[in-house]
Amino acid sequence: MNELLKKVSEFLAHHKGLPVLIGVGMILLNLLFNLLPHWPVVAWLAETDLFLHLGAALGLFGIILGDAL
């Protein structure tokens, strides 16, 4: 477990903006889901705004993590 945490922290130290970019990508993906036809899974994702909430949380976490590293 310690090795995994060490590898992840070293990776994120070199790529500080990656969680923020992934969060922005998830928010844009949520916008795309709102524009697609209402197929069952797509409609559920659009109604719940799942990727919007996860992307915003990941982006904020990335900003905090980037400052700490």
pLDDT tens for 30-60 read 999 999 998 899 999 999 999 999 999 999 9
- In whole angstroms, what is the distance from residue 27 CA to residue 63 CA? 16
Enumerate the domain spans of the chain: 2-68
User: What would the pLDDT profile of 12-24 be if each residue is shown by its tens digit?
Assistant: 888 888 999 999 9
Instruction: Count the neighbouring beta carbons within 10 Å of the beta carbon of residue 62.
Output: 20
Cα–Cα distance between 13 and 65 in angstroms, integer? Answer: 9
pLDDT, position 67: 78
